[in-house]
Structure 1
Amino acid sequence: MVDAALIQQCADPALKPAIVETFIERAGSQDPLTVAVRSGNRVVLVPRPSTPDEAMELVRQHVGRNIVRVGITQYPAGVDVAEAGELKPDLVDACANLRIGTALFAKVHRIVTKWYGNPTDKEVLPQVFDDAIIAWQTGYFDGTAVFQAPDPAEVKLTEPTPEGEGETAEQRGDHTAAGDSDSGRETANTDPKKAGIRIDLSGIAREK
């Protein structure tokens, strides 16, 4: 489990600590040097880095050609840069990764929350959070590329009830979180800003 003091110090204040903890548990990593690489639905095996420099070298080798997730939050490397040379070592720094990762997830959560009509019903909130997690993992919600989408900043995020008290989006058979099946498979682009995030959720489960 990520240290509570680190969450308090570094996580985006828009998310309550309990939300951050659950987000990392379900979609992140305990190791700030974790680099996960995928090509379409295929996991690309890469050596496990032992230093920040090795981790960043892995990221630079694959970003723009494959889908790369980095660090504690499994941040989608390349979404905010034009080329690999612009990537910063912050990606593999625990505090910096937590800061940028939770800020981006907060935006994704707001997008999903707005789609649901900004609900406050405790029975609906777990569904909203489940769909936000899937949107983070796939990069899409209801056909929208969530990492590049505008931020509905007026939406206030509400803490969901503990995991297990509500059905997940997958259990409900709700496919809106992943969006259209074709849009979720957008071919990797040399421009990281336009690259889709394509994640095989079953593969994520095995890695965890």
Structure 2
Amino acid sequence: MLDAALIKECADPSLKPVIVEQFVQAVGSDDPLAITVKSGGRLILIPKPKTPEEAIKIVRENIAGSIVRVGLTQIPAGIGLKHASELKVDLVEPCANLRMGTGMFAKILRIVAKWYGDPTSEEVFPQLFDDAINAWRTGKFEGESVFQAEDPGGEVVQRSEVTTDNTGNGEDALAQKPEDANIRIDLKRIEDRM
């Protein structure tokens, strides 16, 4: 769980603190030096860095031809850079990583919201959040690269709280009474028969 002071000081101000926390919980890491390297769809095991300098050295060694995610937000390393030598140690510094990661996630949320027609209802936010999380993980939304995409600007209407279950379905965390809950139908058994 992220420290409230870190969120207040470092996170993108366009995101509510609870959304920042849920974003990091969904895609991030508790370890600011965490590095994930994937190549050809496979996870590459790397030694755990002990210092920020060691972490950046590992990122530089693996950035060519691999997808490297770094820090609390597991931000993709190297976005917008021309050479690995441009990577800075602040990529793994908690505040800088949270600032960059939440800024990029806020942009992705705006891209998704624009595709949805910029809805003004809070009820749509769980689906927007799920689609933005999926876009963060894959780097794509509707076939377009979200990390290099232009920011459409604007605001996204956010719920006070959104939870995501293991299947990636948004759920209204504010529904307190059974009659207020979303309708759920488990289609898994039908899928298994096909």
Under TM normalisation by the shorter chain, which class is it?
0.7 to 0.9
**1:112–1:90 Cα change, 3 Å:** same
For residues 114-168 of structure 1, the C-alpha deviation after alignment (integer angstroms, 9 at most, x for no partner) is: 0011112333210010000000010000001001111001x21222342159x83
Cα distance between partner residues in 2 of 1:143 and 1:23: 22
Given that 1:126 and 1:168 are in contact with CA atoms closer than 8 Å, whether structure 2 keeps it comes out as no
Cα distance between partner residues in 1 of 2:79 and 2:58: 16
Query: TM-score, normalised on structure 1?
Result: 0.77
Calculate the aligned-residue CA RMSD, in Å: 1.8
1:14-93 alignment runs, 5 A limit: 14-93=14-93
**If you compute each CA radius of gyration, which structure gives the higher value, 1 or 2?**
2
SS in 1 for 2:122: coil
Determine whether 1:9 maps to 2:9: yes
SS in 2 for 1:104: helix
SS in 1 for 2:130: helix
Partner of 1:175: none
Given that 2:108 and 2:146 are in contact with CA atoms closer than 8 Å, whether structure 1 keeps it comes out as yes
Partner of 1:157: 156
Cα distance between partner residues in 2 of 1:51 and 1:34: 11
Partner of 2:192: none
Q: Report the more deviating stretch, 7-16 or 114-123.
A: 114-123
Measured after TM superposition, the shift of residue 45 of structure 1 is 0.5
Given that 2:121 and 2:157 are in contact with CA atoms closer than 8 Å, whether structure 1 keeps it comes out as no
Given that 1:109 and 1:129 are in contact with CA atoms closer than 8 Å, whether structure 2 keeps it comes out as yes
Measured after TM superposition, the shift of residue 64 of structure 1 is 2.5
Cα distance between partner residues in 1 of 2:11 and 2:84: 25
Cα distance between partner residues in 1 of 2:40 and 2:158: 33
Residue type of the partner of 1:83?
H
Query: TM-score, normalised on structure 2?
Result: 0.82
Cα distance between partner residues in 1 of 2:20 and 2:119: 20
For residues 63-116 of structure 1, the C-alpha deviation after alignment (integer angstroms, 9 at most, x for no partner) is: 122000000010100112101000011101000000111111111110001001
Cα distance between partner residues in 1 of 2:99 and 2:12: 6
**1:74–1:164 Cα change, 3 Å:** closer
Partner of 1:95: 95
Give 5+ residue unaligned stretches, structure 2.
171-194
Cα distance between partner residues in 2 of 1:109 and 1:54: 32
Given that 2:15 and 2:106 are in contact with CA atoms closer than 8 Å, whether structure 1 keeps it comes out as yes
SS in 2 for 1:159: coil
Partner of 1:130: 130
Higher RCO, Cα 8 Å, sep 6+:
1
When the two structures are aligned, how many residues end up with a matched partner? Answer: 169
Cα distance between partner residues in 2 of 1:140 and 1:162: 22
Runs of at least 4 residues off by over 4 Å: none
Given that 2:122 and 2:157 are in contact with CA atoms closer than 8 Å, whether structure 1 keeps it comes out as no
Overall identity of the aligned pairs, in %: 55
Give 5+ residue unaligned stretches, structure 1.
171-208
Measured after TM superposition, the shift of residue 48 of structure 1 is 0.9
Measured after TM superposition, the shift of residue 169 of structure 1 is 5.4
